[in-house]
Amino acid sequence: MTDPLSLEHLEAQDEFIQRHLGPTPADQADMLASLGVGSLDELTDQILPPGLRLDGELSIERATAESDALNYLHAIARQNKVFKSYIGLGYHDTRVPAVIQRNVLENPGWYTAYTPYQPEIAQGRLEALLNFQQAVTDLTAMELANASLLDEATAAAEAMAMAKRCVKNNASNVFFVDDNVLPQTLDVVRTRAAYMGFEVVTGPMENAADQPVFAALLQYPGANGEIRDPKPIIEQLHQCNALAVVATDLMALLMLTPPGEMGADVVLGNSQRFGVPLGFGGPHAAFFATREEFKRSIPGRLIGVSKDARGRTALRMALQTREQHIRREKANSNICTAQVLLANMAGFYAVYHGPAGLGRIAQRIHRLTGILAEGLEAKGIHLVNSHFFDTLTIDPQGNRELILERAAERQINLRIDTDGNLGISLNECTSREDVEELFDVLMGDHDFSVAEIDRQITEQGTTFMPENLERSSGYLSHAIFNSHHSETAMLRYLKRLENRDLSLAHAMIPLGSCTMKLNASAEMQPVSWPEFSRMHPFAPRSQTKGYRTLLEELDTMLRAITGFDAISMQPNSGAQGEYAGLLAIRRFQAAQGDAQRDVCLIPQSAHGTNPASAQMMGLKVVVVKTDADGNVDLDDLQARIDAAGERLSCLMITYPSTHGVYEEGIRDICARIHTAGGQVYMDGANLNAQVGVTRPADIGADVAHLNLHKTFAIPHGGGGPGMGPIGVRAHLADYLPGHPMATESGLNGDHAVSAAPFGSASILPISWMYIRMLGAQGLRAATQVALLNANYLAERLKPHYPILYSGRHGRVAHECILDLRPLKAETGVTEVDIAKRLMDYGFHAPTMSFPVPGTFMVEPTESENRAELDRFVDAMIAIRGEIRRVGAGEWPADNNPLVRAPHTQADLIEDWQRPYPRELAFYPLPWIADAKFWPAVNRVDDVWGDRNLFCSCPSPDAYQDDTN
């Protein structure tokens, strides 16, 4: 019989840290021994520069067991009061089809995958995104749509910037905005315009072309529900060499004439009501559509149709040279993510319901709104808007407070306009009983019935939209939207696509700087709780106590982890966090009388989105050299500081750097910038190597963004969602983003960077759970094991691949760069060949050719166990052996396992005439046969895809030769 254990020891064995960390204590000891050190602390001291190590523990509560953390968080969630919200303004309650919620939103096969840079093992997501693009182009009647943007407001800001790039023979810097635009959209556009040199002018839609403008943003239907015909305004704009941007609603476009048929140049909006929960504002997928001639200027990502090495149809991300990390300060925007998971859900919603089902949903919403309008008008209540789809604005005629009191008693939220009017937006979840209830709230005593009014409307043929704006064109005629309407068919379709994608459910994804760690099930569960998922972002403060408690507690946690004095949760991507941080710096400097400070220094080792974010803020980017060891060249830095003089605004630095090392002179670097009057922006892409062992504010940063989708366990969602809150020192706190719809929540009323006050709030519980379950000791251990795993990999791979950069004692940080350039020079085998060959071994490639061309950046994270690390190392060593055989001439340079990779099932059944064995192609190591992952297509032809750009769903027979 074993010795009895204490209760404390027994409870410790149940702590989440035991499940979050991959290597067992015994494995950790063996791995440390292989590195010649005796403990995680000793290894950390060897890696971290002197003087940076934290004294003591973080001021965070001790670790909480999974069940206790869930129970506590559920108690917080129940403090929210989920009313029926008819607020609208771009956000509407919706029914998430259960087959989509269970098999996509809550399925790690979908939410743990990475951005589809490696298309051969991402064909499922790519097809889902192509469906989304096709639905958007059909409903908007535009020629081209991207794979989604962050939210409607930022999509409008991107449209403004794109319009200026694309407009011809127009020197104006004035951007007109319809005064019936969504208020949050207007504020985000104003924020963006201020640093791009644009003047924003507002007024009635009809006045758009009354003065020289380069473009105009029109809302259709308007925020108050009114439907005005934008076609004459669009024609006037075109006559003045100005472009027309139309913000709209996909559900309304099922019944309204689409903007593309009116000549619009850009059409955008939010796809949230296509089966994506409200979630207190996000994450949701914005849509963005434009004309073919602007295809090379469209922001974000495009999914295009190409072909593979066998000539079969294959999908890929098109025009990737537009990516911001490649073009840097010359990028069109700093967008580094789409809202892929949510775009997938919206696209699947269209697939599941099909054109007829969607049409019924839209018609039902519109009919219920018409019934409500008829009843109100019969009672003598004045409707401000004469035409509508789903939104009414009423003049309460002195009864406003009485109506609001009755609404509160029924747990109903109405839109409260600043001009004294009230608004009601109906949605997919609205029932005839809800309309009866609204009659009671808005009219008090009445004798109206929904059934009777419905009968009268039918008999009289009453219409509530302008007849000339009723949609006559078809939509969603492609077979994919007319094939999967039973749950069985839809389930099988979703599973077929899932099986085409490699995710963390299959293997480690060793992408450097992307931190593909465990997204624990306990962390993900609260996202689906209705107390979090069904909350409108503009619900009154009295109903959002649970969310506010969550935000306050997460704020406290993040301040303790980073050392900063204030946090903004609003940025809903890492790049948007960069933008918000630079915005705070520029606003602070302007308030200090230093508006002339417009030079941003960026080391070569910084994260790829930094230059693009800086140029969007009107900053001049100056690159600082790095030395042979990957550190910032201090002499070059000082020369750049001296040259900038009083124009120095800030330094953007990534720590540890993207070279995989901790800068030895980081405090000196920060001090030099401060001495010169500048601010230090620290990119938080690699914060996973700081948590619990050092802090950005202690190092010297004034502001940093925190990638919650990297360091704090929010999943990457196949390319989004992301979250990029920023932390700032006290002097910058007053310059954090505000929001026009959330002043009662403690935010100031302007300079918003996102459509919702707290960004993608519904995924914040994931990071709350992560921190709460790990506690201070667990967070430190997670960082230290990330360092251990990276150095263990580097040590094992070093005899086979050169490690490009290392720091103190020859150690790397949480990631390392493998230099593949000598192999290419010697044998002709490229980094692309190695990336594709890794698929045959069941692995996603590391980050390829960033930050240094011709290299792999590998980050194992703390969640991968030793067996998985060893499998990856064994695969890389085996590939190195294959490269030697190519170099020795054993296999031809143009016909070997690397250049022919990846190998598919179609290759398996061919008449094998290749110079290498069939077994080597498919099962190069013994353990692969246990769980073989088959790439869906052979190597995709990127060049062909860009030369023959096609971004719509191909016909079904295009896939007829697909054996998978």
**Across the strands, what pairs with 270?**
286
- Distance from C-alpha of 351 to C-alpha of 128, rounded to nearest angstrom: 10
Which of 381, 420, 450, 407 shows the shortest CA–CA distance to 85?
407
Residues of the chain with pLDDT under 70: 1-14, 320-332, 334, 743-746, 949, 955-964
CB 196 within 8 A of CB 221: no
CB 387 within 8 A of CB 226: yes
For 142, what's the count of Cα atoms within 13 Å in the CB-facing half-sphere? 32
Query: Which pLDDT score, from 0 to 100, does residue 609 have?
Result: 83
**Across the strands, what pairs with 424?**
392
CA separation, residue 925 to residues 312, 842, 873 (Å): 28, 10, 12
- Give the list of residues 6+ apart from residue 716 with CB closer than 8 angstroms, or none: 111, 112, 113, 114, 115, 514, 516, 709, 722
The token pair at 327 is 């073009």
Q: Where are the alpha helices (DSSP H) in 410-503?
A: 432-443, 450-460, 487-498
- Give the list of residues 6+ apart from residue 19 with CB closer than 8 angstroms, or none: 520
CA separation, residue 227 to residues 250, 328, 365, 470, 700 (Å): 14, 41, 16, 11, 53
Residue 779: count other Cβ atoms within 10 Å of its Cβ. Answer: 25
CA separation, residue 670 to residues 439, 513, 654, 698 (Å): 63, 22, 12, 11
- Distance from C-alpha of 223 to C-alpha of 393, rounded to nearest angstrom: 9
Average pLDDT of the residues of the chain? 94
Query: Using the 8-state DSSP alphabet, how is residue 851 labeled?
Result: S
Residue-wise burial string across 218-254, b where 16 or more C-beta atoms lie within 10 A, e elsewhere: bbbbbbbbbbbbbbebbebbeebebbbbbbbbbbbbb
Query: Which pLDDT score, from 0 to 100, does residue 943 have?
Result: 80
The token pair at 391 is 């939104």
- Distance from C-alpha of 147 to C-alpha of 901, rounded to nearest angstrom: 27
Query: Which pLDDT score, from 0 to 100, does residue 628 have?
Result: 87
- Distance from C-alpha of 392 to C-alpha of 700, rounded to nearest angstrom: 52
CB 35 within 8 A of CB 795: yes
- Distance from C-alpha of 606 to C-alpha of 654, rounded to nearest angstrom: 5
Query: Which pLDDT score, from 0 to 100, does residue 418 have?
Result: 87
- Distance from C-alpha of 200 to C-alpha of 186, rounded to nearest angstrom: 9
Which of 488, 480, 485 shows the shortest CA–CA distance to 127?
480
Q: What is the SS3 assignment for 88?
A: coil
* Amino acid (one-letter) located at 449: S
Query: Which pLDDT score, from 0 to 100, does residue 964 have?
Result: 40
Instruction: Estimate to the nearest angstrom the gap between the alpha carbon of 412 and the chain centroid.
Output: 31
**Rg of the chain on CA atoms, in Å:** 28
Percent of the chain with pLDDT over 90: 88
Query: Which pLDDT score, from 0 to 100, does residue 320 have?
Result: 64
Cis peptide bond upstream of 715, omega within 30: no
* This model's pTM is above 0.85: yes
The string of DSSP codes covering 535-582 is --TT--GGGBHHHHHHHHHHHHHHHHHH--SEEE----SHHHHHHHHH
Measured CA angle at 764 (ends 760, 769), to 5 deg: 165
Q: What is the SS3 assignment for 819?
A: strand
Encode pLDDT of 622-635 as tens digits: 999 999 888 999 99
User: Per 3-state DSSP, what percentage of the chain is helix, strand, and coil (rounded to 5)?
Assistant: 45, 10, 45
CB 651 within 8 A of CB 585: no
CB 613 within 8 A of CB 579: yes
Query: Which pLDDT score, from 0 to 100, does residue 961 have?
Result: 47
- Distance from C-alpha of 712 to C-alpha of 696, rounded to nearest angstrom: 16
Residue 176: count other Cβ atoms within 10 Å of its Cβ. Answer: 29
